[in-house]
Amino acid sequence: MSESGLILLGAGGHARACIDVIEQVPGFKLGGLVGEAGEVGRKVLDYPVLATDADLPVLRQQYECALVAVGQIHTAKLRRQLFSRAEAAGFHLPVIISPHAWVSRHASLAEGTIVMHGAIVNAGASIGRNCIINSHALVEHDAQVADHCHISTAAVLNGGVTVEQGCFVGSGSIVREGVRLGENSLVGMGAMIRHDLAAGDRVPGGRK
């Protein structure tokens, strides 16, 4: 089986976690990372930081695929920007699924999304573009997650939850079945969400 050349957009902690997943997924050969100017030339888990995102059109001549590997907590702005720049440069943005995750064959995942180790995406769930389904997160049946969202470590979206674009759902938080999280809302670590959130709402974490 031939391998597709892949670069990661981002060179921080989330990129390290993405590397660990990608190394276990057949079909991709990781060539390096894209970072900030001061990061170029250093290595992340033995992979070089090749260039900045200004160099994406040049990198596209060598690499077919790209994945946004910047984490997201307060805002999805940078992930959106990098995804758009990769698209404009002509990169293919693949779906990456850890072999240690479970994704139902009755679920759908859109381009540029990564499903990390131990995550579960159940039947009827839909995940949009450029999302992170982080380690041990649970996306239950018929939940709908729009583009540019981060469902963080061990977060739970119960059945029929709707997560609009650009949301962050923090580690260990639980969203009740059927609840809607408005665009760009933020759910803090450990929060219990029982009612709909309006666009831009920010709910603090459940414990100090």
Whether 75 and 110 share a structural domain: no
Q: What's the confidence (pLDDT) of residue 207? A: 53
Give the integer Cα–Cα distance in Å for 105 and 46.
34
> What's the confidence (pLDDT) of residue 47?
97
What is d(CA 190, CA 97) in angstroms, rounded to the nearest whole number? 25
Distance CA 138, CA 174 (A): 10
Cα-trace Rg, the chain = 17
- Indicate whether 64 and 126 sit together in one domain: no
Please, where are the H alpha helices in the chain?
13-22, 56-59, 77-88
Given 62, 88, 114, the domain boundary residue is: 88
Report whether 100 belongs to an annotated binding site: no
**Residues 9, 83: Cα–Cα separation, whole Å:** 9
pTM of the predicted model as reported, rounded to 2 decimal places: 0.96
Q: Is the pLDDT of residue 205 over 70?
A: yes
pLDDT at 73: 77
| Per-residue pLDDT at 3 | 66
CB 31 within 8 A of CB 5: yes
* Domain of 105, in residue numbers: 96-208
In whole angstroms, what is the distance from residue 56 CA to residue 161 CA? 36
User: For residue 202, what is the enclosing H or E element?
Assistant: strand 202-203
Whether residues 200 and 109 share a domain: the answer is: yes
User: Are 110 and 59 members of one domain?
Assistant: no
Structurally, how many domains does the chain consist of? 2
Residues 129 and 31 in one domain: no
pLDDT for 135 equals 98
CA distance 153 to 96: 17
Residues 83 and 171 placed together within one structural domain of the fold:
no
Q: What is the pLDDT of residue 1?
A: 40
Q: Which residues participate in catalysis according to the annotation?
A: 141
Average confidence score pLDDT of the chain: 95
How large is the average pLDDT for residues 117-134?
99
Confidence of residue 208 (pLDDT cuts 50, 70, 90): very low
Residue that finishes a domain, picked among 88, 113, 130: 88
pLDDT score for 94? 98
206 and 110 within one domain: yes
What is the structure's pLDDT at 98? 98
Q: Is the domain of 56 the same as that of 28? A: yes
Q: Are residues 104 and 195 in the same domain?
A: yes
Interval 142-199: pLDDT, tens: 999 999 999 999 999 999 999 999 999 999 999 999 999 999 999 999 999 999 999 9
**The domain spanning residue 80 has which CATH number?**
3.40.50.20
**Domain CATH number, residue 108:** 2.160.10.10
Based on the domain organization, do 81 and 127 belong to the same domain? no
Q: Is 71 annotated as a binding residue?
A: yes
Beta-carbon contacts of residue 110 (< 8 Å; ≥ 6 apart): 95, 127, 128, 129, 131, 147
| 34-80 residue pLDDT tens | 999 999 999 999 999 999 999 999 999 999 999 999 998 789 999 99
Distances in whole angstroms, Cα of residue 28 to Cα of each of 7, 141, 167:
10, 29, 28
Residues 88-112 have pLDDT tens digits of 999 999 999 999 999 999 999 999 9
Last residue in a domain, options 54, 88, 122: 88
CA dist 182 and 14 (Å) reads: 25
Looking at the structure, tell me whether residues 168 and 81 fall in a common domain.
no
**62 & 127 share domain:** no
